[in-house]
Structure formats: structure tokens, C-alpha cells
């Protein structure tokens, strides 16, 4: 390490970056987080529609670290702010915007990015969701040097994290964030000392993910139950996986894969039809002659509830088709 703390500007917005920020702040003799850059506050639905800061901004302010939330990171005003800080290194963790090379070139040690996948797999905006949707058993965090292209730079460290069968994005993301923060503190001293040689990615193996829209959460019942069950977990907490019953949105919070009972005749095996299996569990017929067993649901305007409680208020859903 250098004799004085390494000056760092930290870019991040979501909860994914919070453990890394906290770990850096816990090493004040080695690292000085001079400034945090986060996305601007956004209006969130609530009692008064108040602007809500990002989780990383909240964490930084509680730790008494200065925060800047530029609406345009290539503005002259923001570039001057960054230059005046004279950071040695930028660290980025789920900031939510592409950082131009002009900013990456400001610190002499460049920029490192914590990314929630084992690159080059799942570059882009939704790597955690993509891993769950694919049914992967393992994912992880990669720390790489940033360049002008999306998640393209050479790798300085990786850590694997198992995906549990019942993992959602909400449960997997914190484990990835913790693993990534531990990895950062392991590799950063070696990187700063010049003892790590970054390894180029195999770009031929790269896969790209994109920002997920609310519309993608709508369930197409002609898909198989395995795919839909993964979708429910991947899209928790957002945008959720949903269907419709009597014109109202019905969110599926928990479900598992079952088998269509032989007692249900072929003419009734219509995707989206709600049925009972031989154990009296409530399921929805999906594509490929598969069944999705429902556990917890939420009708628009109501609380999340067990499927049995939902059926007490809507017994006529049995035998009908969700859409």
C-alpha cells in the first residue's frame, strides 16, 4: 500500500454497492472515499410522492460521506467537481449509467467495476435476474478494469456464489454484494501495488442482458412451468411476475412446478386454467403439459396472501383461465 490512503470516488446507486462502500469506509488508513456519485432522487409512490434517494446515497449520507447526484455526468460542472477531488481511483458498483471514457481517464489508476456475474457471461443491466432465469446453479461477482465498452474490460478478480433453488433476486443480490465487497478488499491492495495482471475477457463467450421492463413481468401461460417459476423468482422484487383475473392484476409471489393430474381431460388442459392436483394443491396449467402450483399471490389492492386465503375470497377462479 501507499503511505497515505488511496483517494477513491465511488459510483453506485442500488443496494448492491452498499457493502463495498461500507468495507472501504472501514479501512480509513488504506482508503479515503472522498465522494460518492449516485443517481438523482426519484419520485416514488407513497403518501406524498416524495423524491426518494437511492439506497447507496442513503448509506453514504449516514456515514457522513459527501454525495453528488448529477443528472448529466458529462456536464462541465460535474467534470470539474470530479477533477477537483483528484481521486486516484474510481470504483463503480451498479451505478445505473454508462460512465464515459473521459471520466474513467481522470484518475491515474483508472476505474474498477464490481459486476454481479461471472464475466463475460451476463454483461449489462440485469445479470442477477438473467442467472436465475437461465436456471444456473452458480453465479458470482467479477471485478474488472473499466474501458469504453459495456462490461468489457480485463478482469482482476472473480468469486463464485451458489444459487439456491428458492433464490429470488431479492435474496441472491445481498449475498453477491457481500461476496463482491470481500473480494474487493482482497484484490485492491494487490492491484494498487501493481501485483495483479488484469486478464482479458474472452469476448466470444459474452452474453448481454438489458434493462427489464414492467411489461416483461406478464406471464405467458404457454411457456413451461419451469420457465415461469424461474421468472417469478427472477422478477422478485421487481417488476414481479403477474397475470390477470377479472381484469385485475394478480401477482404470483411463490410457486413451484407440479404435474397435471391424469384426471383432467385433454380438452381442459388449456394454458392459464386454474385446477387442483391430486393433493388438492391449486395450480395453473402451463405450456408443455406442465403445472405451476401456486403458493402466495396478491390481487391488486390487496395484501399478499396464501393461495388458500385467496380462494376463500375468489372460489370461482377454480376452473377458469387466468390471463
Residue 36 sits in a domain whose CATH number is 3.40.50.170
pTM over cut 0.85: yes
Predicted confidence (pLDDT) per residue in 247-275, tens digit:
999 999 999 999 998 889 898 899 999 99
pLDDT at 43: 76
Query: Does residue 12 lie within any of the structural domains?
Result: yes
Q: DSSP character for 319?
A: T
How far is residue 238's CA from residue 240's CA, in Å, rounded to a whole number? Answer: 5
From 209, 238, 264, the end of a domain falls on 209
Q: How far apart are CA 283 and CA 291, in angstroms?
A: 6
- Position 51 scores a pLDDT of 86
Single residue among 182, 209, 236 that ends a domain in this structure: 209
Q: Are residues 284 and 196 in the same domain?
A: no
Asked if 178 and 121 sit in the same domain, the reply is yes
Distance spanning both ends of the chain, measured CA to CA: 59
Residues 87 and 193 placed together within one structural domain of the fold = yes
Asked if residue 312 is part of any domain, the answer here is yes
Considering the domain architecture, whether residues 204 and 227 belong to the same structural domain is answered as no
| Domains: count for the chain | 2
**Are 123 and 207 within 8 A, CB to CB?**
yes
Q: How many angstroms separate the CA atoms of 252 and 29, rounded? A: 48
Residue 45: what pLDDT? 60
Last residue of one domain, picked from the residues 209, 237, 267? 209
User: Both 175 and 286 in a single domain?
Assistant: no
> Angle CA(202)–CA(206)–CA(211) in degrees, nearest 5?
150
1 found inside a domain: no
* Cα angle for residues 172, 60, 111 (degrees, 5° grid): 75
Domain co-membership, 158 together with 227: no
Looking at the structure, do residues 116 and 188 belong to the same domain, yes or no?
yes
C-alpha cell of residue 260? 397435471
What are the E-state strand segments in 146-231?
155-162, 208-209
Residues 116 and 220 in one domain: no
How far is it, in rounded angstroms, from Cα 27 to Cα 159?
21
CA distances from 64 to 34, 35, 61, 107, 246 (A): 11, 10, 5, 23, 50
Q: CA–CA separation, 168 vs 88, rounded Å?
A: 37
Q: Cα dihedral sign for 22, 28, 32, 34?
A: positive
Instruction: Residue 139: name the closest of 161, 111, 112 by CA.
Output: 161
Task: Based on the fold, state whether residues 147 and 282 are members of the same structural domain.
Answer: no
CA nearest neighbour of 145 among 154, 158, 135: 154
**Is residue 231 located within the same domain as residue 130?**
no
> Can you give the residue range of the structural domain that contains 295?
214-317
Q: 184: helix, coil or strand?
A: helix
Q: What is the DSSP letter of 66?
A: -
Residue 322 domain-assigned?
no
Looking up residue 237, the CATH number of its domain turns out to be 3.10.25.10
Asked if residue 202 belongs to a domain, the reply is yes
Q: In terms of domains, do 196 and 231 share one?
A: no
Position of cell 421468472? 231
Nearest alpha carbon to residue 254 among 129, 168, 131, 172: 168
Domain annotation covers residue 323? no
Low-confidence ranges of the chain (pLDDT < 70): 1-3, 45-48
Does the residue 223 lie in any domain? yes
Is 64 inside a domain boundary?
A: yes
Same domain, 43 and 135: yes
Angle at 97 between CA 73 and CA 99, to 5 degrees: 55
Those residues whose C-beta lies under 8 Å from the C-beta of residue 230, and which sit 6 or more positions away, are 132, 133, 134, 135
Amino acid at each position: 500500500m501507499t503511505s497515505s490512503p488511496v483517494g477513491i470516488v465511488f459510483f453506485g446507486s442500488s443496494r448492491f454497492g452498499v457493502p463495498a462502500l461500507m468495507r472501504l469506509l472501514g479501512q480509513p488508513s488504506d482508503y479515503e472515499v472522498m465522494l460518492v456519485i449516485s443517481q438523482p432522487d426519484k419520485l416514488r409512490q407513497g403518501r406524498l410522492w416524495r423524491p426518494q434517494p437511492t439506497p447507496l446515497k442513503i448509506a453514504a449520507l449516514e456515514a457522513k460521506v459527501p454525495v453528488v447526484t448529477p443528472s448529466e455526468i458529462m456536464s462541465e460542472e460535474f467534470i470539474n467537481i470530479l477533477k477537483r477531488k483528484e481521486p486516484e481511483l474510481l470504483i463503480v458498483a451498479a451505478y445505473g449509467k454508462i460512465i464515459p471514457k473521459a471520466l474513467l481517464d481522470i484518475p491515474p489508476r483508472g476505474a474498477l467495476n464490481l459486476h454481479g456475474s461471472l464475466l463475460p457471461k451476463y454483461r449489462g443491466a440485469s445479470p442477477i435476474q438473467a442467472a436465475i432465469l437461465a436456471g444456473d446453479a452458480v453465479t458470482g461477482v467479477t471485478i474488472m478494469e473499466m474501458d469504453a465498452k459495456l462490461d468489457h474490460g480485463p478482469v482482476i478478480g472473480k468469486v463464485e456464489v451458489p444459487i439456491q433453488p428458492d433464490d429470488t433476486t431479492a435474496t441472491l443480490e445481498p449475498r453477491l454484494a457481500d461476496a463482491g465487497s470481500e473480494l474487493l478488499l482482497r484484490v485492491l491492495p494487490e492491484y494498487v501495488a501493481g501485483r495483479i495482471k488484469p486478464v482479458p475477457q474472452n469476448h466470444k463467450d459474452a452474453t448481454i442482458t438489458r434493462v427489464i421492463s414492467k411489461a416483461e413481468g406478464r406471464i405467458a401461460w404457454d411457456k413451461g412451468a419451469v420457465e415461469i417459476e424461474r421468472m417469478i423468482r427472477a422478477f422478485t422484487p421487481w417488476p414481479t411476475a403477474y397475470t390477470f383475473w377479472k381484469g385485475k392484476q394478480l401477482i404470483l409471489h411463490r410457486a413451484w412446478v407440479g404435474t397435471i393430474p391424469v384426471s383432467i381431460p385433454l380438452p381442459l388442459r388449456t394454458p392459464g386454467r386454474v385446477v387442483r392436483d391430486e393433493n388438492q394443491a391449486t395450480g395453473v396449467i402451463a405450456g408443455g403439459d406442465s403445472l405451476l402450483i401456486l403458493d402466495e399471490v396478491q390481487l391488486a389492492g390487496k395484501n399478499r396472501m396464501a393461495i388458500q386465503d385467496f380462494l376463500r375470497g375468489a372460489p370461482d377462479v377454480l376452473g377458469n383461465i387466468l390471463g
